[in-house]
Structure 1
Amino acid sequence: MLNATLGHEAIRQCMTQPVFLLARSGAAGLAQLPMHVRSALTYCDPAGAKKQSERAGGSHVPLLASGQSSHERGYRLENGGGVYAGWLWDGETLHLYADRYALHPMYYFYADGVMGVSHSLPALLAAGAPAELNMRGLSVFLRIGFFLGQHTPVLSIKALPEGGAVTWQPARNDAEPRIMATPLLISANDPQTGRPAADTDKGRKDYIDGYIDLFRQAVSRCVAVSGERIALPLSGGKDSRHIFLELCRQGRKPDCALTVLHYPPRANDDADRAAELASRAGIRHEVFAQPESRLTAWWCTRLITGFCTDEHDWAHVISTHLAGRYDTVFDGLAGDTLSESRFVTAERLGMLGRRQYDELALQLVNTPAVFSEQAMRVLLLPELMDFMPRELAVGDLSAAIRQCADDRHPIQRFFFANRMRREVSLLTFGVFGAQCQALTPYLDADLYDYLRMLPPEVLYPQGFHKEVIATGYPDYADIAYERKVAPSVSDVQHNISLFREVAAVGVFRKSHLMRNPSLWLRFARGGLDKRYAATTRWYVLMAAYLYQLEEFITACRKGTVRLSY
């Protein structure tokens, strides 16, 4: 059953996140804010603002504000790089800014003369952001598991744009926030000739050596700003292994390597590989089993990640362990996407070459990971499905793919700009980063630019990153990687337990989003028939997501979830 202590801690973690609100006095949007939020607003006009307005020939607009006028999360490197996001109110302009990637989660809303910003989407809802669901964004998210662009599940709340900034000058009565975005596109064509760019005469060994050198530099830069106690989540894959071995080479061994056992049916072959690496390097290695209640981990993770992902619940057990024990966690964010993405296939590259954007979008919808259209059709009310038709999701996906079509690595670019930026980064900076500093060597600007400019034939087919690691660390080259086709383990009991947890929640709730009668019948059937309960995971996680999203929005509207000032 749900662990109330952990659930309350997740809510506390969200509600204590800094929120900055700025409003024009008398703005219509003020009436929508909860009473305790309105009462915390105070006048914040800078000295001489009224005289300046009069000299400019305009009328003075008194301003109200609450919360920290400046705040930043993430990390900055000594060379000016890093991954961070923050805001600054200078008395005239509210600046929302981020690094070149805008990977660190930060959200804002604007409604009728009121603007709010926070690193926590639930905190913005509790602060009074209009809570209407974003049907367009959800039409994609519920089919493929991540949001596109600036979309979130709430219509009024936006994520920061990639490589961009948002500014607002509230003293200008007619001004809404201004959005500036600079996508990190790498052209496939020579800017002078317009024809495909010619690659250098470098051989594969040169590209491998270049990767090794730049990665060592990237890790060194991260070490320079790291805390004293370092943890490293270590799997059986390439990304965390590369960081692990380079930290050891530089004499900055992590204090502990952490490995989490998977939810079934996935086997735990990578735990054995991680243990072998740690043992040979002489590093303490801790292995964490999943807690009894998956629903608790699922609900806590939805809150911490702002309802913007259908993944990462597996890592909640690490998150609670990091708190107070470690100062820094190194994470392999973007390593796979930049080095040899599993999402890049010959079929998809062929579709892009033939400009078959709709066909590729349709393929993404038809190959879901956790959420799916099949689950949507079983769970959602017909009238809700009418607002989120398949054609809408395919059209938005197609448009997002088209924006990346002229990039040197278009599939890589699409998944970095959307899945990596809007979903995977929430593990690093949301789940891990909520407890300690999170550092990401693969996002070093020099390394990122190098990998993005590699010729396609170097990255595809896969194998390049393994060659880099074997060349750079030959003493560990004999240690195998996780077997992607390792025998699966039975998930029958796990699915039954998960079903019963969600059923216990749902049977007492009347959802305004889901088909209650048919869902309750499914819960009843699963309670009597273990064989049926064991096959329900394909829809039960989406049901849990929708129950929690609806419940949290309702609690914010009623004022039963409050910000902690």
Structure 2
Amino acid sequence: MKPRIRLVAGPGGVRAEGEGQARLGHALGADPLAGGPPPEGVFAAWNWDGERLLVRTDRYGMHPLYYRSDANSLTLSPDPLALLRPGEHAALDHDALAVFVRLGFFLAEDTPFAAIRALPPAATLTWTRDGPRLDAPALPVPGPADLTRGEAVDGFIDLFRASVARRLPARPYDLPLSGGRDSRHILLELCRQGAPPRLCVSGAKFPPDPGADARVAALLAGHLGLPHRTVGRPRSQFHAERAAGPAQGMGTLDGAWALPLLSFLRRRSGLWYDGLGGGELAQNPSIELIRKNPYDATDPPGLADRLLTAGRTGGHVEHLLGPRTRGLWSRERARARLVRELTRHADAPLPLGSFFFWNRTRRSIALAPFTLGGGQALIHTPYLDHALVDHLASVPGRFLVDGTFHDQALHKAFPEHAGLGFAAAVPQRHGLVLVGHRLAYLTRLLGHTLHSGRGWWHSRDRVLQRLLAAGRGPGAPQRVSRLQPLALYLLQLESLAAGRTP
């Protein structure tokens, strides 16, 4: 059960329900509720002293925390579903969902529910019986620094080393290791500073992932003389996503594959390192999309349209929307909401890199470690060190857009490992294995509908019927593959909005 506090002002004073104080995540060496700029770390915290509620979030708002406020009450929790009242028919935020069903993540402080908002980055929220006050600075979006490429790379290496030095482990730990750059850099730097993990552990993802993450991670661990283990993926993607969606507050379509890995880490020591932010800041996984769609300050709607087309479901989502949702969650509505968010990043050296960091990283990728990972775990995030983020966020875009910046830093800092490739270079596996996996997902979805969730078949927008219809015609396998997780999400969301168990 996630912590929650509800405060209601009445004629006799303030009635408080739930936990009067909470410390979530980890603030590095400081009280998260002290005055001044937020300390290092990923955290959210609150304290109710009987007269005043004080709430603060970390500099980047990475630890999820949500609030709901009306004329005389405020409710707060890291779980937005805990802010829904029993049996309530909750209004949805249609602008937010118009974007989500196409991109797969929410923007800024949006949630699926009109009455519930995420706390912003570096926020201070206070509440008394007179009502709430929310203070949050504008996003720190710096312009490009006057750096050469060599200076930018050297600054990355030096600041990352200082970040890891501030986060050296106080007890034995296991390190999640993928075949990518972010966790590799963490591992190599920890070993350089004399603090290797006792075990490197990788998770297995769902098809069409080729399994290269674990193979490359095992090679690297072997080079370092460290043991390596691969934790298997969930047996059923459907059942994993059915659990992971509500567990992450219906904030993302991702994260389900990591359930066994995070469970393993929690059971072992409850201390690990996460590469959160490294991708978007140092070598963006969407760099090809960014290159093809350079930020044009004269045409934000055009850029928004291209991002919506290239999003997680892209044009496929139209097959899943009925007459009602096609209007409520229209592309025009999504474009208008997306344009408002894109303009906040216009002055960044790489505007779309900044956009993805403050939205996809913060509102989607961060959810798995800080919700599925469990509230008691100590999770170090060295790429979110304040000085390092300030540096990477100001690296001139021309040094980032070729997609080799993190490679250059790794190869310069650790030349002895420069010959080991990355998992991203291995093509995904398609064919009969993927077809069988998708059929198993659909079978389980329909089986659950018949035995436990019969209301799903009669959903207001006939989501299942539309998903089945999308399985006909040219391009059906890819279309259904993109739409199955979203169909499950929409069915669960409809149940939640109607006050039922998802």
The alpha-carbon distance between structure 1 residues 140 and 122, as it changes in their structure 2 partners (threshold 3 A), is same
Change (3 A) 1:489 1:374: closer
The residue that corresponds to 2:10 in the other structure is: 25
Query: How do 1:250-261 residues align onto structure 2 when only pairs under 5 Å count?
Result: 250-261=193-204
Please list, as runs of the form range in 1=range in 2, the aligned pairs for 1:538-553 lying within 5 A after superposition. Answer: 538-553=482-497
The TM-score with structure 2 as length reference comes to 0.90
- Say if 2:472 is the partner of 1:537: no
| 1:480 positional shift | 1.5
Q: What residue in structure 2 maps to residue 386 of structure 1?
A: 327
**How far has the Cα of 1:450 moved from its partner?**
1.4
1:273-292 map, 5 Å: 273-292=216-235
Are 1:88 and 2:88 counterparts?
A: no
Q: 1:484 aligns with which of 425, 428, 444?
A: 425
Q: Percent identity?
A: 32
In structure 2, do the counterparts of structure 1 residues 477 and 534 end up closer, same or farther at CA, with 3 Å as the change threshold?
Answer: closer
Alignment of 1:470-509 (within 5 A): 470-486=411-427, 488-490=429-431, 491-507=434-450, 508-509=454-455
Query: Counterpart of 2:280?
Result: 337
How many Å separate the matches in 1 of 2:478 and 2:308?
Answer: 25
Work out the CA distance in 2 between the residues paired with 1:137 and 1:473. Answer: 43
Instruction: Answer yes or no: is 1:125 the counterpart of 2:81.
Output: no
Specify the alignment match of 2:316 in structure 1. Answer: 374
Q: 1:218 — aligned with what?
A: 163
| Residue deviations 1:343-391 (CA, integer Å, cap 9, x gap) | 345866874245221111101110122x44523x333331232212111
TM-score of the superposed pair, with normalisation by structure 1? 0.80
Match of 2:269 in 1: 326
Shift in alpha-carbon separation, 1:90–1:221, aligned structure 2, 3 A? same
- In 2, Cα distance between equivalents of 1:88 and 1:270: 42
Check conservation: 2:67, 2:74, Cα contact below 8 A: yes
Q: Counterparts in 2 of 1:77-156, with a 5 A limit?
A: 77-78=28-29, 80-125=39-84, 131-156=90-115
The 5 A counterparts of 1:2-81 are: 16-25=1-10, 62-78=13-29, 80-81=39-40
Task: Point out the structure with max Rg over C-alpha.
Answer: 1
Matched to 2:140, the amino acid is: L
Partners of 2:278 and 2:296 in 1: CA distance = 25
Rounded to whole Å, the distance in 2 between the matches of 1:198 and 1:254 is 36
Q: Is this contact kept in 1: 2:172–2:197, CA < 8 A?
A: yes
Q: Aligned-residue CA RMSD in angstroms?
A: 2.7
**Is the aligned partner of 1:207 residue 2:152?**
yes
1:452 to 389, 393, 397: 393
Per the TM alignment, residue 130 of structure 1 is displaced from its structure 2 partner at its CA by: 6.7
Contact 2:94–2:329 (CA<8 Å) still a contact in 1?
yes
Q: Which runs of 5+ in 2 are unaligned?
A: 31-38
Distance apart, 1:139 and its partner CA? 0.9
Q: Output the amino acid matched with 1:505.
A: H
Candidates 418, 425, 433, aligned match of 2:366: 425
Is this contact kept in 1: 2:91–2:113, CA < 8 A? yes
Give 5+ residue unaligned stretches, structure 1: 1-15, 27-60, 189-196
Q: Does 1:352 align with 2:292?
A: no
Q: For this pair of structures, how many residues does the alignment match?
A: 487
Deviates more, 1:451-460 or 1:394-403: 451-460
For residues 150-171 of structure 1, what are the alpha-carbon distances to aligned partners after superposition, in whole Å with 9 as ceiling and x for unaligned?
110111111011222222222x
* 1: CA distance, partners of 2:345 / 2:290: 17
For the residue of structure 2 that corresponds to 1:427, the secondary structure is: helix
Which of 399, 406, 425 is residue 465 of structure 1 equivalent to?
A: 406
Which residue number in structure 2 is paired with residue 408 of structure 1?
349
Query: Per the alignment, do residues 214 and 534 of structure 1 end up closer, same or farther by CA in structure 2, a change over 3 Å counting?
Result: closer
The 1:544–1:268 alpha-carbon spacing in structure 2 relative to 1, beyond 3 Å, is same
Deviation per residue, 1:487-514 (Å, 9 max, x gap): 5243011011001011122342244442
Whole-angstrom CA distance in 1 between matches of 2:492 and 2:205: 24
| Contact kept in structure 1, 2:316 and 2:479, CA below 8 Å | no
Letter in 1 for 2:370: F
Alignment counterpart, residue 312 of structure 1, candidates 231, 239, 255: 255
Provide closer, same or farther for how the CA distance between residues 281 and 520 of structure 1 changes in structure 2, counting only shifts above 3 A. closer
